[in-house]
A = this chain, B = another copy of it.
Amino acid sequence: MPKKVDHEARRQEISEALWRIAGTRGLDGASLRDVAAEAGISLGRLQHYFRTKDEMLAFALQHINRLANQRIRARIEALEGEPTPRQVLRACLSGMLPLDPESRTGTLVGAAYFHRAVHDETLRAEAKDGIPKLRAFFADQLRRAEERGELPPGRATEDEAMLLISLADGLSTYVLLDVHGPEQAMRLMDLQLANLFDRKETDPDH
């Protein structure tokens, strides 16, 4: 097996050990040594791949984002015919919520990453970069919906896009805390979409 592939497989194994810790006892206070032990390798060997916890979290987060993108793409492809912008948005938002064990672990690793990013500008750069891109994509879907006459006028804005994204984040937190279950989180997301797509100003002169 070529060396490069071997390295990637090893990084993957370490990532999986990290996910198991994220899913069980949590990443708060988990050290590189803990992850090495979970992966069944020495600390020195782990540090050959990841020098710091931040490097390891960044790698795990990228992988989790890839999985989320695959999940979202699969949901969109599963739709009958040409999906509407509303269906595309709903598929993205459902892919952002912890609705199954895989996405739950993804949310936990993401939360651990963001928790450190608050105090680290380098880590924060990734979060700051990713969310505006997502917002632009969402706003674009809203504009497509408006053009198709499927969204009341004046609502295809970056702010409405940001409300959807921020809401997905808040709903996810409460799923992890058992305040509500995955189905209720999705139901609340659908309510937000219905409020966006199916309502207009009560007073047009307002």
Stretch at the interface among A11-19, A43-51, A198-206: A198-206
Contact of A179 among B26, B127, B192 (CB under 8 A): B127
A170 vs B165: C-alpha distance when bound (angstroms): 8
Q: Please give, as numbers and ranges, the residues of chain B lying within 8 Å of A167 by CB-CB distance.
A: 163, 166-167, 170
- Is the Cβ of B169 less than 8 Å from the Cβ of A117? no
Q: Please give, as numbers and ranges, the residues of chain B lying within 8 Å of A177 by CB-CB distance.
A: 114, 117-118, 124, 127-128, 131
- Is the Cβ of A198 less than 8 Å from the Cβ of B202? yes
Count this chain's copies in the assembly.
2
Say if the beta carbon of A29 comes within 8 Å of chain B.
Answer: yes
Say if the beta carbon of A168 comes within 8 Å of chain B.
Answer: yes
Q: Chain A 135-156 against B: per-residue CB contact (8 Å), 1 yes, 0 no?
A: 0000000000000000010000
Say if the beta carbon of A159 comes within 8 Å of chain B.
Answer: yes
Chain A binding site: helix, strand, loop or mixed by DSSP?
A: helix
Question: Across the two chains, which residue of chain B brings its CB closest to A159?
Answer: B191
Contact of A108 among B118, B187, B192 (CB under 8 A): B118
Residues of A that sit less than 8 Å from B by CB: 24-29, 31, 108, 111-112, 114-119, 124, 127-128, 131-132, 152, 159-160, 162-163, 165-171, 173-174, 176-180, 187-188, 191-192, 195-196, 198-203, 206
Additional 7 contacts, C-beta under 8 A, given A26-B119, A165-B170: A28-B116, A111-B118, A114-B173, A159-B191, A169-B169, A198-B206, A199-B201
